[in-house]
Structure 1
């Protein structure tokens, strides 16, 4: 069976920051401040500042869902798995339409700024830029994000310089003093000020675009929430201080009528720079801002049809991965749609309406977090949890719908039409082909009979994908586990705890109090994975790697633990709190092995720690035998483990020497008389058997 291609995880923390930051700075700073100031006057900087706080509920909810389900498609995937494929279709197609319009508008803005120095038609320039950015996206996420890094670095450096020089011109304290020419601090009263907050809020809407490429982010549990937080801080500071400078530098009439306010302010206080360099750099920053928004927009927009095609909500062809590891067809369709928008619509007007739909999605994402948490699905394990649940989510829902109302009847009508269009698409194209349901069916007992068990399995698969890159494999866990066999005696939880505490100190050298806390009877649950094998798994923040204690009891031994009196084997799995979900993944592997055919017979027939270990090891990931059986190892005897050449995933986990089991460490020397236990991917283990050392090196 051919291997299914998937997206590559090659986006770093800086890439997340660059994508989020680049998606925010465009019209929000280079076009909008003059319009916003005409409504609110001196208080425009405060409107930008407060708008940055209003995006927090959506940002925190998006971060939680992205770390629980780091999959391509972002908002689509979250709404689909939380509330079902109908809501997923609305979220996916609606997000794609909104981002296409917003990205096309950004490239029109870029063309306008290029027009300051170059006599180029706006629309043709925007179309050429769309094609260029589309090609960069096709050639790979690394190439796309490298460009994004360059654009955002250029943008942020120039804007920081603008803020510093502007504050030097106005004075830091005086910058916060209201200008009489702009009227009262709240020029249009409190109602006008609140409306201005709604107007400038969309400047921050691009912050969460990165969720659509979560599947390509390295260590998403850390990089997504941290990257978005750093990006929001950057944007809020620059928006707030930048608009303060505009108020102080420009006359009211000049500011209110300006569509290039940052460049106009630069002319006022950067005139000392030779060759009009100050204004040129601001124009460069504006071009970088619009370019980064357009580039990030194509990247994020293309992931919506890609993810939906994998779920059969749009034609399957859109899920194809090209030879550069990117969804080539989805990118080409997105680029074609942007070109059509540029040719057929008044892009600026429709882009503003598309912002209203994004606000609706922010509210639905907050709902999705509530649904996922209340579903109590055990495999929903976000690496980051939004704080102040459920009040933050409720506030986020109210903010979204309030801002949509503030945008007026046209925005509401556009949102309604897009929603209806998405519903019709789902009804006529996809609804008959799907059995999938969302987590919402897990919430209420009345709906419980219709809940979709496949969702739990899918979330478990996501946990496996999130944790498999860590050096915390099942095979390594089994290789260093404690196997204990008790033929006689009576064992209650206190006796078991004493045994484990002793082993924790002598074998693993960690604090025995960890055992005491983990075996607290009020929270200890022994789960039966077969008729006679029970497992308890707990996480603990002081652990650095997972450890397993296996206790097997003979027919003349008695277990006095209420939930496990019929058991002959107890397994206690202790796991670090990070990465999230590792406990479920490892417990799942153990259950899979225990439930395999002939396990019971092989397990009870094993006569030594080594044989017990081999039964629990997955056969295709494990090799055991004398060093002499492996010519490649035989040639390297006398070397330290750290210096031995092995195929990529292979590891010497244990050594049996003179009847003793030794856990292999980098400093352990391999001897010709040793027997070794090797773990690794099946293909690499085959190479170890067959490939001559010279080829491996």
Structure 2
């Protein structure tokens, strides 16, 4: 191999801090569920029943079905792009930064208003026991929940788990006892009180309007998308958590309103702003110490608290994600010592306090619901854009069923419900859109060059595409599979790197070299390598400005192998590549057919590495294959040293690699012996003077480097 560049001292460049992935399935469920139960059950049923009568429970039931398209679309985008910012991130990457700005700022404002409304409602309930104005109580609660959010997502979700568990347990008890009392009172659950008027009191129009009114009770279901970056195994936990949450909400909303219309007289329910507590007094009022009503008040407080707490958590991720993309001041993207977006949380809490002090929160929160419906429309459209863009790296872990009819239904349902909400709601939505457009044009437009996936749709029509999105989606694939990255690093660590300083090269020459070197290094028959590559013409896709990657997936390949070619300034590539003058590295990845998606995951890992800060400088300065491998493998997972520097390995000279003891979660990837570099197999015997490349967990590598020659007793 010819290498002629100046080397740069090792040490990985510090990359940007990332949010911790510590939210599990129950955390997703708790956040989605907690964001739904507040005014939807503890305030709205009386208003809804006044509009449609006994059919109010069906309005809640159908509203649960109508949210399905938006939920499925949000789940698909969340599993394809599990990044902080949720709706903002999806709209930005699908339709460009202008739509992202509308989605991000609009979502933030809408969630801030609705969360402030929840805290005001909680303050009102606490006012029954505390001698404080409910606005003061709401402000104190906003500060307290803000502090919990700053302490970490894990701490926030611990509180959310307690709140939601308490809430759901009490509501299940209320519903079961209420149905029992209603059955005893009326003798049947299908006989309805004529005092409520006709079953569809307001006719079909009144019933449809009521569906629109209670639909927003389910809107919090999708808020978990804004913290998707912090969810473990998002492909499973996000769609499953949202589905379980929707089932819980639909059942409790539907059966809970059945209890209300069976227990309370019509005139009492129509005028009630505390319907659950009023119904509880009827069949639990004779409990000792009024414990039944107290439990309902506790449930109401837990509902409003969980909505406010989840609201602060989700709302703060919008400015955080937008700041990372330079659409708002970058200060908001900084993480504090608890790895949470501290400044974004502080801004969110501060704005909530201003809203509580200045505005009629209930009225504005209802208007903000119309904007939420607009976002649902755009999210459904974003799924169609991403699908039709045909970007190879768009790989959702969950796909919307019945595509494209489900997203189309979501668009039509949201549009219809916005119209039903009236002129004021439409006007408020329009003003928010205009404000977001003004912000983008005056602040953000000159700071970004990014474009959305919609340009890939344009490409299919003969126009231009934005390749940067493919880079980013490739990186996201790697983030989604962090637990498996160690094996990918082993593939990269043993990759074959060839450095060309002079000459002209076409792809056929590279294939010949892969065939020869593949046999020598990987024991792959030359004709097999040629046959695999001959299956399809190479498509080199950019994973950074100067690096192109092509992938071949074939059942004849038994182990993933990576060939890397670096071209110096006097070497010329005779290939048709976009921006060929900027290309300095080509990578060819051969992967087995199973497990499915392995090529994408390795490609995602490569994308994260080559897009890291300082990669270009270190890669172009490396002078040897070992130095090039050092650059490609993250330094904290990689160790390249003589065995003389590792007493525990030096003590095992003469042993086969497969019999080495005391390594922990570390594998030997390469062995350098003189001028020869070989892939480490279980049969290779360590010899004095060997230099080894080790891949493993950072803690085990550090232990191995500092360990004595003495082996653990159980491994001797």
TM-score range, shorter chain: 0.7 to 0.9
Q: Distance in 2 between matches of 1:33 and 1:126?
A: 23
Matched, 1:52 2:70: no
* Stretch of structure 1 that moved more, 208-217 or 622-631: 622-631
Matched, 1:420 2:434: yes
Structure of greater relative contact order (alpha carbons < 8 Å, 6+ residues apart): 2
Shift of 1:695: 12
Matched, 1:235 2:265: no
Q: 1:273 maps to what in 2?
A: 287
SS of residue paired to 1:312: coil
Matched, 1:175 2:189: yes
Q: Distance in 2 between matches of 1:216 and 1:315?
A: 22
Q: Distance in 2 between matches of 1:481 and 1:262?
A: 65
Shift of 1:225: 0.9
Q: Residue 101 of structure 1 contacts residue 347 of structure 1 at CA under 8 Å; is this kept in 2? A: yes
Q: Distance in 2 between matches of 1:534 and 1:343?
A: 55
Q: 2:117 maps to what in 1?
A: 105
Q: 2:360 maps to what in 1?
A: 346
Matched, 1:375 2:361: no
Shift of 1:386: 1.2
Q: 2:6 maps to what in 1?
A: none
Q: Distance in 1 between matches of 2:660 and 2:233?
A: 26
* Stretch of structure 1 that moved more, 191-200 or 578-587: 578-587
Matched, 1:140 2:144: no
Shift of 1:333: 0.7
Identify the match of residue 630 of structure 1 among 635, 643, 646.
Answer: 646
Shift of 1:535: 6.3
Pairing of 1:38-117 with structure 2 (within 5 A): 38-117=50-129
List per-residue Cα deviations over 1:569-599 (Å, max 9, x = no partner). 9964024236894154368799999xx8899
Q: For the structure 1 residues 18 and 546, does the alpha-carbon distance in structure 2 shift closer, same or farther, using more than 3 Å as the test?
A: farther
Q: 2:206 maps to what in 1?
A: 192
Q: For the structure 1 residues 683 and 390, does the alpha-carbon distance in structure 2 shift closer, same or farther, using more than 3 Å as the test?
A: same
Shift of 1:641: 6.6
CA RMSD of the aligned region, Å?
4.5
* Stretch of structure 1 that moved more, 127-136 or 164-173: 164-173
Q: 1:157 maps to what in 2?
A: 169
Shift of 1:468: 3.1
SS of residue paired to 2:552: strand
Q: 1:559 maps to what in 2?
A: none
In structure 1, list runs of 5 or more residues that go unmatched: 483-499, 501-505, 508-514, 551-568, 604-610
Q: Distance in 1 between matches of 2:292 and 2:701?
A: 64
Pairing of 1:479-558 with structure 2 (within 5 A): 527=539, 536-538=551-553, 547-548=560-561
Q: For the structure 1 residues 527 and 261, does the alpha-carbon distance in structure 2 shift closer, same or farther, using more than 3 Å as the test?
A: same
Shift of 1:405: 0.6
Q: Residue 622 of structure 1 contacts residue 677 of structure 1 at CA under 8 Å; is this kept in 2? A: no
List per-residue Cα deviations over 1:365-396 (Å, max 9, x = no partner). 01111111111111111121111111111110
Q: 2:695 maps to what in 1?
A: 680
Q: Residue 475 of structure 1 contacts residue 679 of structure 1 at CA under 8 Å; is this kept in 2? A: no
Q: Residue 250 of structure 1 contacts residue 265 of structure 1 at CA under 8 Å; is this kept in 2? A: yes
Pairing of 1:105-504 with structure 2 (within 5 A): 105-171=117-183, 174-445=188-459, 449-470=463-484, 473-477=487-491
Shift of 1:470: 1.6
Matched, 1:650 2:669: no
Q: Distance in 2 between matches of 1:549 and 1:140?
A: 39
Matched, 1:691 2:706: yes
Q: Residue 85 of structure 2 contacts residue 321 of structure 2 at CA under 8 Å; is this kept in 1? A: yes
Matched, 1:573 2:585: no
Q: 2:4 maps to what in 1?
A: none
Q: 2:505 maps to what in 1?
A: none
Q: 1:582 maps to what in 2?
A: 601
Q: Distance in 1 between matches of 2:589 and 2:424?
A: 62
Q: For the structure 1 residues 642 and 156, does the alpha-carbon distance in structure 2 shift closer, same or farther, using more than 3 Å as the test?
A: farther
SS of residue paired to 1:185: coil
Q: For the structure 1 residues 614 and 337, does the alpha-carbon distance in structure 2 shift closer, same or farther, using more than 3 Å as the test?
A: closer
Shift of 1:54: 0.6
Shift of 1:447: 7.1
Q: Distance in 2 between matches of 1:683 and 1:96?
A: 38
Q: For the structure 1 residues 85 and 150, does the alpha-carbon distance in structure 2 shift closer, same or farther, using more than 3 Å as the test?
A: same
Shift of 1:435: 1.2
Q: For the structure 1 residues 695 and 237, does the alpha-carbon distance in structure 2 shift closer, same or farther, using more than 3 Å as the test?
A: farther
Shift of 1:640: 8.6
Q: For the structure 1 residues 138 and 690, does the alpha-carbon distance in structure 2 shift closer, same or farther, using more than 3 Å as the test?
A: same
Q: Residue 459 of structure 2 contacts residue 465 of structure 2 at CA under 8 Å; is this kept in 1? A: no
SS of residue paired to 1:576: coil
Q: Distance in 2 between matches of 1:247 and 1:52?
A: 19
Q: For the structure 1 residues 333 and 625, does the alpha-carbon distance in structure 2 shift closer, same or farther, using more than 3 Å as the test?
A: closer
Question: TM-score, with normalisation over the residues of structure 2?
Answer: 0.78
Shift of 1:103: 0.3
Q: Residue 474 of structure 1 contacts residue 589 of structure 1 at CA under 8 Å; is this kept in 2? A: no
Q: For the structure 1 residues 616 and 293, does the alpha-carbon distance in structure 2 shift closer, same or farther, using more than 3 Å as the test?
A: closer
Shift of 1:463: 1.6
Q: Residue 104 of structure 1 contacts residue 338 of structure 1 at CA under 8 Å; is this kept in 2? A: yes
Shift of 1:615: 12
List per-residue Cα deviations over 1:9-38 (Å, max 9, x = no partner). 111111111100000000000000111111
Q: Residue 79 of structure 2 contacts residue 396 of structure 2 at CA under 8 Å; is this kept in 1? A: yes
Q: Distance in 2 between matches of 1:527 and 1:587?
A: 17
Shift of 1:672: 8.3
Shift of 1:116: 2.5
Q: 1:497 maps to what in 2?
A: none
Q: Residue 537 of structure 1 contacts residue 587 of structure 1 at CA under 8 Å; is this kept in 2? A: no
Q: For the structure 1 residues 253 and 579, does the alpha-carbon distance in structure 2 shift closer, same or farther, using more than 3 Å as the test?
A: farther
Q: Distance in 1 between matches of 2:191 and 2:337?
A: 58
Q: For the structure 1 residues 268 and 615, does the alpha-carbon distance in structure 2 shift closer, same or farther, using more than 3 Å as the test?
A: closer
Q: Residue 148 of structure 2 contacts residue 156 of structure 2 at CA under 8 Å; is this kept in 1? A: yes
Q: Distance in 2 between matches of 1:434 and 1:586?
A: 25
List per-residue Cα deviations over 1:500-558 (Å, max 9, x = no partner). 9xxxxx99xxxxxxx9xx9899x86655799xx99653399xx9x974599xxxxxxxx
Q: Distance in 1 between matches of 2:559 and 2:151?
A: 39
SS of residue paired to 1:651: strand
SS of residue paired to 2:458: coil
Q: Distance in 1 between matches of 2:599 and 2:286?
A: 55
List per-residue Cα deviations over 1:328-361 (Å, max 9, x = no partner). 1111111110111011111111100000000000
Shift of 1:317: 1.3
